[in-house]
Amino acid sequence: MPGVWQRHPRYSLLVVVVLVTTLYLLVPIQQDSLASPLFTMSDNDLPSRMERANRIYNKVLEDRKGLIKKFGPTPKEIAVFPEDKAPWPPYTVWDFFPAAFNCPHEVERQGALGDGGKWVCGLSRVREKPNCVVYSFGINYESSFEAEILRNTHHCEIWGYDYSVNAFGPEIPSESKHRTHFKPYALGGEDKHDSEEKIPMYTLDTLLKMNGHEFIDILKIDIESWEFTTLSALIKPYLISGKPLPFGQLQIEIHLWHKSFDEILEWWEMLEEAGLRPFWTEPNLVYLNYNRDSRTSDLAEYSFINVKGNNIFIQDPPSPSHDDVEHD
């Protein structure tokens, strides 16, 4: 008997075409076939996402050099907020520091919309973490950020510090208060907390030792422009020693009051050298609205992830060994 191909050649050819097309579509697209090497569709594990994010951010670093050369050509010649006169330079200081690092996890706002809330990268990574530690500097009786962190995690404990108030804000849920710890201290670049000091000031390293901590998963800082001197004093010893910073991510409000561009650039590059990469930013429009005589938006919220070390946001935790599983 004649075969199917002989009896129905057109039908058989159609079947072959359908099979070949289906196999083609099911084969993962390889990186070499993509127009841009920055993106892959076959590799989406955490190391691959981190590698892509680093490549994208490195391009931004090169673009910054070009922007400085264009409007400078040196940092000392760049205005933080150029005056409105011809020829008008179309830039502000914030254009040099975009939040261009891709968080390798979900980005989610914790706390109130508007003033008080912060953007966090990968809160799911610490949702079940048994030793999750959060430090918050600058409370001012507004604790929606801290309250939502507590609601959305099972074990995170929060250490709050603010010398201008005597407690967290009213947003802290009563069922989670046992996971909060408050002291009326200020964060500083040096320890000044003897009996003669009106404002007890502690370094981050001292507070870590006092609390028995080695690492902070999430660090929030809002200390009204003291972030420049405080973070400089905190970070420089780690740069000298080569050790990674003792926190996984940083939510901070940056105040540019009385700062020149070259000062800001030097401070920012110190953050980058230490491993901090900005993944989110927003201007403080509340401040700008209530200072309408000012034409500069010199306050901005930034969120950074620490890409050095082995923190939970950039590396997967080791899988339990066979012995550990059997023991459990």
User: Please, which pLDDT band fits residue 325 given cuts at 50, 70 and 90?
Assistant: very low
- What pairing do the DSSP bridges indicate for beta strands 133-137 and 157-161? parallel
Residue 213 in tokens: 């901590």
Look-up: residue for tokens 């594990």? 45
User: Please, which pLDDT band fits residue 84 given cuts at 50, 70 and 90?
Assistant: confident
CATH for 46-306 (2.30.29, 3.30.420, 3.40.50, 3.90.70): 3.40.50
* CA distance linking residue 171 with residue 224, whole number of Å: 22
For the chain, give every domain's residue range: 4-33, 46-306
Residue 152 in tokens: 């959305």
What average pLDDT does the segment 62-74 reach?
96
| Average pLDDT taken over every residue of the chain | 86
Of 226 and 157, which is predicted with more confidence? 157
pLDDT for 294 equals 62
pLDDT for 28 equals 43
Of 1 and 136, which is predicted with more confidence? 136
Look-up: residue for tokens 């264009």? 70
Handedness of CA 238, 244, 246, 247 (dihedral sign): positive
Q: Model confidence over 134-167: pLDDT tens digits?
A: 999 999 889 999 999 999 999 999 999 999 999 9
pLDDT for 144 equals 96
Q: Enumerate residues 6+ apart whose C-beta is below 8 A from 238.
A: 244, 245, 246, 274
pLDDT for 297 equals 83
Q: Model confidence over 42-51: pLDDT tens digits?
A: 578 999 999 9
Least confidently predicted of 90-94, 112-116, 188-192: 112-116
Of 186, 183, 156, 152, the C-alpha closest to 168 is 183
What average pLDDT does the segment 88-114 reach?
94
Residue 266 in tokens: 């030097």
